[in-house]
Each structure stands twice: as C-alpha cells, then as structure tokens.
Structure 1
C-alpha cells in the first residue's frame, strides 16, 4: 500500500482520505487551517458526511492530519482537493491550486503520482498543475506522474459515496493514467479511464452543465405553468413514466452548492477566452437559475398582497436555508439572495433549519440570525428545503399561507406551489 497525502480536508478530501486509510493506505490529510487539523486529530469532524465515529475509526486506521507540507516528501501519491471558486473574471480562481502546486514542487520526490481533483477548465492539469509540481525538472512519465480525477462527492447522499461512485481518471500519459487507476482501484469499486486529462476535466463540467441546463428548463417552465394554471410537478411525474428518452428534473428556489452554480461557468469562460465566442446554453441557464430566488420573492410578495398584507413589515419564515436537504452546507444557497430581496422590500425575515442553528445571509458585517421554532403565526412561510427533520404537519398546523417551492406539502387551502 502507498503513503498518501491529501491536500484539503473538506467535503471532498476528508471522506476520500478516510476511505483510502480504511483500505490500508498510510494517509496524511494536509490542511492550512490549524484549528481544523487540531479538531481532526482529536476526532472532531467538521463536515456532514463524516461523523465523529467515522473520523475516530480513521484515526485508528492510521489517518492523521497536519499543516506541515514537508509530509509530501515521503508520499507515493499526492491528491489535491482544494477549492476553486469563481473569480471576478468569471473563470475559476486557481490561486489555491497554484499555491498547492508550488508547495508540492518544493517537496515532491521522484516517482510520485500527483492527482488534481479540484474542478477546473480543460487544460489546467497540463498547462498549470504539471509545471508547478514538476518544478520544470522532473520528467513526466518517468520521474513524476500526473493525472486529473474529478471529484464526485454528493453531500448527504446515503446511497453513493467514495467506494461505490465510479471514479473517472485521465493522465497526461498512459502510464500516468494506469498509475491513477491502480491507486483509486485500491479503494473505489469502479475506475473509468478517460482518454486523457482534458477529457476527464471535461467530463466533470459536462455532468454539472447537463444538470444546470435541465434545472433551468423547468425553472423557466414553472413560471408560465403557474400563469397558465398548470401543475408542472404533476406533468413532470407523468412524463417520468416514459421508460426511455426522459430524465425528470424538478423546479425549485434556485441552484446551490459547490458544483452546479459554479462549474458550468468555468467552461463558458474557457470557451470565450480561448475561442472568442459564447457558450450560449450555459449563459442562458445561469440567467434563469440566478433569477429563480427573485421569482420566489416576487411570488411571496404576490401572495402577501392577495392576503391584504404589504410586504413591508410582513413576517416571513424561511424553512431550510442549506442548499440541499438534510445537510448544513450553505454554499451558494438560494436562500441568501431570497432573504436579501425580501429584507430590501422591508419584510421581517426569520428562518427555521434544524441543521443550521446560526445563519448570516446578509454578510459578516451584520449579526447572524438564529433558527426559530415552528410556532407562532408568521404572515407567510416559504418552504425551501424539505429536511427530514422538519415536521410538515406542524407547518400546516400554523395556519398561515405557505409557498411550497419543493411540492412536498399537500395542496389544500393556503398552500401554494411555485
């Protein structure tokens, strides 16, 4: 088994590090946050998908965390799982990848396999990552081996995790690909070889662009369906009975998380920068999905007006402010622009979320909100996420108008869907 260093101990890096450790690898999780490292070494997890028990089991298996990059020197495999948020230019902010690449280059030993998992545009592994980790001295395919493998973590998914989600790999040479296959094959059930690193990079963007575009389709359809008095959810359920040629996507308050709202922009930016023309499908999808929370706000204002209540000084309760059900992750949550728009109109916004005890939708300069109990009588409730821990019956008992953005509450008097 190999000595492995995993840069980044967040939603991607930590579960992978623990899985590799469980299968016999000697794994060090490397992170720049000393507090996170201290907590990890003390068996305290900071992400939803890894319990303290899981982490303690990993420590027993030999996993440890550190901030010391010198650990790279003894590694057989180095995996990079650092964030690549959107830059102001619209492309990925590769500063973390570049910093880690330089760090690896300072310490890496000959014959090491270096794998980039951070999502980015096609060409990054070859054009940016390779020169940094090789220092311009180590010969690719002889002294150093470099590959890209897109992360496929789905926070909160109880069915698919690291071990049973197929892993795509693409190396800069065939030997690089083969080494990556052997590494991931030691702890992942299925490993799929792409033609090369660019194809593996594109596969990740294709997966999330596909979802982004199809979510935008139904998020636009729900608007005119409402005006035409059509239950779009019922139409989707009916269409989904077709056993071929259709995949159901359902509308909602917007898209969130670390992938769908961000990844397609990498490809759009790359196409425009490299080829000089627009990726129009993605740009339109971004326009529609970014507008979805504002549409929810407009529907909320309309419902309040129907009740003879102006939005100014109306009490609005948001239920579920994470970006998906049953997790605490709030990255790119559509609840933030929704709350901001409602407050700008003068509404008094509160929220209930059993997974998010404290929430800062208006930025670090203002005091955070705290989750409230499901009682009282707000002027309007907006259901954003259908957490299992939220009792839908108790919402109905509050006897106030409800805007259900997930179509999970039976439609009775006072209940409205998007």
Structure 2
C-alpha cells in the first residue's frame, strides 16, 4: 500500500508534527516522509479531503458484537467494518456472546475470525465462568490465547471474595480485571436513573448509590490485594470522586466513561424511547458535568462508545421489556466533538486506553507504521438511520444534531474510507 496524504493537520501531542499541516507519504504501510509539500513522482494514490485532520488510530475499550451465537445482532465482519469506517483501528470486544467467551477456545475463535481486517480486534475474556460470578474462568489460558483483560460485561462481580482471589491471581501474569460498577442488591429491577424524571414517568429507578457502593467495595479490595483494576463506564459525580481519591492513594485503577453519559441526561427518558435504556442509566446534568471535568483532569482515563447492538425483537418493545444497550461506534466522534477539547478527546481514545490495555501506540512520525484515523471536526449533520452501519439500529443518538465527520482509517496496510 503506497499512498500520499495531502494537507493533513496532525493531531498527536506525542508527535513532533503536532498541530502542523503536512503531506504524509506512506509506503508499504510505513510512514516514510512527513513534510509541508511532498512530490508524487511514482504516481501513488493521493488522499485529498476537506479540512483533513489525522490522529493516531482510535481504540475503543468496550465494544460488543454478537458472534459467536448472536449474529443477528452483529457479526465480527460487519462489526469490524463498522469500526473502521467510524475511525477505530482497534477495538476491545466484550465476552457477552453465546457461548460466553470464558475459555481459550472461544477466544481463539474470535481472534481467528478477525484476521485480515484493517481494524484489530482484542478479545476481553469473562472474569467468571458464564459471567455468573460463581467460579473464576480460565484467565491464564485466555490471556495466552489473546485476551487482553477479564470482565463480565454489564454484570457486577457480586462475590467479593471472588474479586479478591482474581486480583491476586492475575498478578502472576500481569492481568487486568474489569469490574462493572453496580450493586444489584441496590439496583434490583431498576430501569433508569432514580431521580425526579423516574418518579414523574413511573419508571423504577437505579440509584447512584448502586454504582458508588460497588466502586467503593472494589477499591477497598484492590487496596488489600494489589493488582490492576479497570472500572468501565462510570456515570455519577461521586464515582469520579471515589476514583480520584483512589488514584491519589496510589491504587492501580483506571476507568472509562461512555460517550452518551457525557452529553445526554435522563431528560431523554420523556420520549419512552427504548434506545435510551442503557446501563448504567443516563444520569443528571450534574453528573454529566462532573464526568466531563473528570475527563479533563485525567481522573477518567478513556472514552468508549460502549457499542452494544441489540436486535429489533429485543429493543423495539415496551420500555420495561427492552434490553439495555445502544450502538455507538458510528456516532462517538460527532456526538462529543465540540463538547470536549480535541486533544483531550484524542488522548482518551489513543495513548491512555492503549497504555492501560498494553496495546502498542504508533506515533505519527517517520519510520513508524501508519495507524491513522482521518476526520473533519467541522461538519454539521443530523444523525439518521442512513448513518448507521451496524446490523442493529438501536442508536441513542438517532435524530440528534451532530458535529464532525469521520473519513475512515489507514491501518494494517489497508485504507478504509
């Protein structure tokens, strides 16, 4: 693959070309030259796009596909193609498949199905067998087969002793444990955030307390055991405070926030649209502001789409019966662009999550592999079904006004635009 990119503004704080407009020559997948103007005597394919910006390739730390077993929601093939066109050169895929990804065979199957695509797939293995919080899964075997972390997607580890043992065990091979922040004995059968809107609408609430109790418990266990803990998709003001204090104490903890929790509140529930039914639930404006502040201050390490395709039979039903989840790969950039400083946004999708999940970063410099996301931060549009590339259409940002356009990626010696 030989390509000449023309007049691209480079957004990469780790690169000597940060915030400069340059041409970029890529030969056989390697950046061979970066300069103000590069001639094209070999007649390589040229990429010229309006207001082109380029960053390191984005990494999403929480994505769900369906395969194996739930292909009606999303296949690995279509999921990776969707990720590529949405700007992601790498995704970490959750283990909520059927059968569950709780053993080396399933991890190897998922890895094998992902070969040959522009976007790299990194499996997350179940922390417990079947995600049932009873017995530890085959953690060491799964890591040897390609799993980069262990967690039961959208399921809390109810057994505190199991988390303790797991955090101690994975230190033998530098494993990373994910613990979903919800105490189910508090959340019970809740559907949405417990606040004024849930009361007005007659929807059973999930209090912030359910999230914060679980996080507090997990941090106490981490302080006792040591090891590495990642808390995915936090959503409350006090959750930010708890993690901030834990980091001050030197605990090896990281956390992420879903894009929708940064810009949407539980005011969205008034439509009774099941696409707004997500876990954790949409919270209040106070929480949203605290999450954005936590991101800017570095308390929150990364942003995720928390992309979770749900087929129409389980989503386009009455609110109580609908499954939790929204797709988000296609909308992540344009939903957050202009809401968050671009440098903060890029860091939260590149260097920060890649370092935590031990994925190699490729700075935009001569001699490095071309692992690039191409985008235009000045493009307004309305997000409709025509913008959805996923098999499932359960998009929380459907019909919202958006700002910013992703052109695609250059990665693994391939171009997807």
TM-score normalised by L of structure 2: 0.29
**Structure in which a larger fraction of residues adopt strand:** 2
TM-score normalised by L of structure 1: 0.28
**Structure in which a larger fraction of residues adopt helix:** 1
Q: Considering only CA atoms, is the larger Rg found in Structure 1 or Structure 2?
A: 1
